[in-house]
Amino acid sequence: QKEVEQDPGPLSVPEGAIVSLNCTYSNSAFQYFMWYRQYSRKGPELLMYTYSSGNKEDGRFTAQVDKSSKYISLFIRDSQPSDSATYLCAMSAGSSNTGKLIFGQGTTLQVKP
């Protein structure tokens, strides 16, 4: 069983839709949770970063962490064609494990005009 599970998709939605992307994990020591966005032929870039449980909002993006369920989500409101990319969740236990990041497989999202 992988430490981090993420549905690879692909996920196709119409412009303006609300998108929900999710990851589950098995290691209860994870404390730091990140979402990276990766455009074609580019490296991953940090989109959202949260510590422990709770919500974080940044513009059209909201990250949620539910440590009791070992489940994290990324919501995209009013999705745009420019949001078409692969979204990778990543998490780490912090200093207890040299800060090693464990990545999900990535979900490919296509937003159609």
Partner 1 sequence: EAQVTQNPRYLITVTGKKLTVTCSQNMNHEYMSWYRQDPGLGLRQIYYSMNVEVTDKGDVPEGYKVSRKEKRNFPLILESPSPNQTSLYFCASRGGRDNSPLHFGNGTRLTVT
CB-based contacts of 95: which residues, under 8 Å, 6+ apart? none
Q: Which amino acid is at 102?
A: I
DSSP string, 64-112: EEETTTTEEEEEESS--GGG-EEEEEEEE-GGGGTT--EE---EEEEEE
Q: Which amino acid is at 4?
A: V
Examine residue 31 and tell whether it contacts partner 1 (CB under 8 A).
yes
Helix (H, G, I), strand (E, B) or coil at 19: strand
Examine residue 17 and tell whether it contacts partner 1 (CB under 8 A).
no
Instruction: Give how many residues touch partner 1 by CB under 8 A.
Output: 27
- Residue span binding partner 1 (CB under 8 A) among the ranges 19-27, 53-61, 65-73, 102-110: 102-110
CB-based contacts of 43: which residues, under 8 Å, 6+ apart? none
CB of 27 to partner 1, least distance (A): 14
Pattern of binders to partner 1 over 58-87, x per CB under 8 A?
Answer: ------------------------------
Among 10, 16, 45, 112, binds partner 1 (CB under 8 A): 45
* Binding residues for partner 1 (CB under 8 A): 6, 8, 31-32, 34, 36, 41-46, 49, 51, 88, 90, 92, 94-95, 98-101, 103-106
